[in-house]
Amino acid sequence: MTQSQTGLLFFVGAIVAALLYLLQPVLTPFVVGIGIAYLADPFADRLEARGCSRTIATIIVFVVLILVLAAIILVVVPLMIKQIQTLVQMIPTIEVWYNAALLPWLQSNLGVDVKSMNLDLVTEGLSAEWKQTGGVISRVVQYATQSSMSLISTLGSMAMVPVVAFYMLRDFDLLTARIKALLPISAQPRVSALASESNDVLGAFMRGQLLVMFSLGVIYALGLSAVGLNYALLIGILAGLASIVPYLGFVVGIAVAMVIAFFQFDGYVPLTLVVAVFVIGQMVESFVLTPLLVGDRIGLHPVAVIFAILAGGQLFGFMGILLALPIAAVIMVLLRNLHEGYIKSSLYGQRDSE
């Protein structure tokens, strides 16, 4: 890549970043819709290769997505709400153990001032809030309806997502071809190669990592259910979502599960089984899921993943969190190519000639 082409790419990237920052309040449904279209494009391509028109293929993909989403809403969401309500009712039990066992131990062994660590005010506040709102659903509804304009805006944004996703999926190949046609002819081969490499990295992450997260959530939820642990579905979903950062799902999941198991079971056997569930899940992820579904094409260090998510959220809010890792993957591809160009350049070889 020549210096002018590199400068052009960074200039375009700066303009895109500035537009994202200025338009972030209205871009979230478009970003989500484009993400759905990108994830679903390979399935539409396969249907199209089997003789379906692009529109029919898009409709079939959307029908399947709607059925899956409906099943999740009808089956998983009510179970999650029930488990959250039960978990809130467990707070007084934790408070009793905290005040009767943990605080005296801290005071006698570490000399900690227990007066400043009392949970009474916290638990009373939580109980009052949940009794006042009447549960999870009523609290969410109350929050959403505090502002009529906010509610209308939220519903409008949600309604835009499937519309954007449908049209983007239907015209995905056409749009990419038109974008390519806008590039200077001299730059098209190099930019196409970079785009293809970026697509491989994005596909490996967005499709592969999402499948890994889903698989781990299922493994943890089923394993903890087999052990008999309460809130197994909730912990499984939490650990699966946290698995977007390597090993974070394991750490978060096992920590929460051990706390719940400590109050639920007597003896060490159930605690050992809980640990075994997460160890098996981590082994399956490391030796089966990640090599099979993701591979080694991403190359993002766990620290880079954490920084990208935090930086995206700080700069662009929720939309920044959605875009953080895809943008980080593309930047990694560009930096990798710049590094290769630098290694092959005369600047890098000057040291030998001196």
Residue 317 has pLDDT above 50, yes or no: yes
Phi, psi dihedrals of residue 111, rounded to the nearest 5° = 70, 30
**The predicted structure's pLDDT at residue 121:** 53
Q: Exposure string (b/e) for 237-250, b if CB count within 10 Å is 16 or more? A: bbbbbbbbbbebbb
Q: What predicted TM-score, i.e. pTM, was given to this entire model?
A: 0.67
**The predicted structure's pLDDT at residue 30:** 84
**The predicted structure's pLDDT at residue 225:** 92
Residue 166 has pLDDT above 80, yes or no: yes
For the segment 182-197, the average pLDDT, to the nearest whole number, is 78
CB atoms within 10 A of CB 319: 23
Q: Give the distance from CA 333 to its chain's centroid.
A: 21
**The predicted structure's pLDDT at residue 286:** 81
Identify the burial level of 331 via C-beta atoms within 10 angstroms of its C-beta, where 0-12 means exposed, 13-18 middle and 19 or more buried. middle
Residue 165 has pLDDT above 80, yes or no: yes
The amino acid present at 222, given as its one-letter code, is L
Identify the band that residue 140 occupies on the pLDDT scale cut at 50, 70 and 90: low
**The predicted structure's pLDDT at residue 57:** 92
Angle at CA 173, nearest 5°, toward 167 and 179? Answer: 100
Confirm if 69 and 201 have CB atoms less than 8 A apart.
no
**The predicted structure's pLDDT at residue 220:** 93
Identify the burial level of 110 via C-beta atoms within 10 angstroms of its C-beta, where 0-12 means exposed, 13-18 middle and 19 or more buried. exposed
Q: For 64-88, how does the pLDDT look when each residue is reduced to its tens digit (9 = 90+)?
A: 999 988 888 888 878 877 777 777 7
For the segment 237-264, the average pLDDT, to the nearest whole number, is 86
Nearest to 324 by CA among 343, 339, 310: 310
**The predicted structure's pLDDT at residue 183:** 74
Nearest to 26 by CA among 140, 141, 144, 164: 164
What does DSSP assign to residue 354? -
Identify the band that residue 133 occupies on the pLDDT scale cut at 50, 70 and 90: very low
For the segment 98-127, the average pLDDT, to the nearest whole number, is 62
Identify the band that residue 152 occupies on the pLDDT scale cut at 50, 70 and 90: low
The amino acid present at 266, given as its one-letter code, is D
Identify the band that residue 35 occupies on the pLDDT scale cut at 50, 70 and 90: confident
Q: For 223-235, how does the pLDDT look when each residue is reduced to its tens digit (9 = 90+)?
A: 999 998 888 888 9
Q: How far apart, in whole angstroms, are the C-alpha atoms of residue 293 and residue 210?
A: 9
What is residue 229's three-state secondary structure?
coil
> What percentage of the chain carries pLDDT values higher than 90?
11
**Least confident window among 29-43, 91-105, 302-316:** 91-105
